[in-house]
Chains A and B, each alone.
Chain A
């Protein structure tokens, strides 16, 4: 199994696992939208710790987690470096001032505001990562479908999402099997040893069997669903959706509070936009 996949088909037994799909999906969506909407470090930092705490509460396999975490941190740092190379004085647009800490050359300066913005941005993305990881590891495909249906999304769309989510591990496994068998036949897949055009060709060679096996499933799955009466009625209920537990009752006011906070932030951004995007402690 691939290291980067954590999709479960059976719920675990921690506090977050036991919540209903409804609570999981709603809390997740509200937190993600909140994180997209805000650039305020005073809000992002608590959300970061919330995500960290939530992820740790699931007791994830530390060996699996390390690989992904390091990958995400490096990727974000690399993106920040790139952003700095393109516009070193980026913080000025967002915080309004620029305090030069030191100069490397005429163009490449290091300003306190840019560093602050990078810190905020980094925390924001790591927080998003932690919350999505928590979500993936605590939810099952049918709970996800049930949760989406609870926010009035048509059940056929919910079914699309849950089937897609369900089949990701299978397709990844097929992908790796095809890749390994291609390598066994002598195909060089090391990016350093092959040219770009050659690699594109090889990717297409992997793609062909993958597409055929994947779309071969469509007939089987849809026949099985038709036989069970899928799509006969206007609406449906979900077997995986159990009654609200104590945890759901605790979480309800929590996510409603986050939703209210999100709405306040959105309205503030529309009607009373602050002059600069990013809150900066020394500018205020």
Chain B
């Protein structure tokens, strides 16, 4: 039986942490050759030089359009690259899109060889999406807490009341105006900064 060449996979990702996170999922016990391409300016040239079987890129990355250029490769040594979603089973394609992953595979590569890589990558992209959402939520919560603390401080100084009283006052104002506590606090902080 002829030796099967390991699949050559390019991961386009400029953030080193995220790149490592994706690569870790792919190296798990399988034989792939993985290249991370981080520099976007010469993306098409770098990918053309590596001549990968598969290119994985975040849907949110604007440099994705650069990869579209490779779908036109027509030189004698170039292998046309097709968007994975063209020819694989629809379920896997939809799963990839939902996970925020775009994959480009070289023409003629059998779906059975690509599928395990895709499944691992899809799982990883889902996890990254969740982490991104959680991070954004945490950041928002932290910022809101800071604003509420500042609003409480302003009220305590202006009216000579305790922290608990200041908090109750804010909460009451929020309820009366049918607004979120953080919104009322932000309005107060803005107004105070304008008044000097």
Is chain B a partner of chain A in the same complex? no
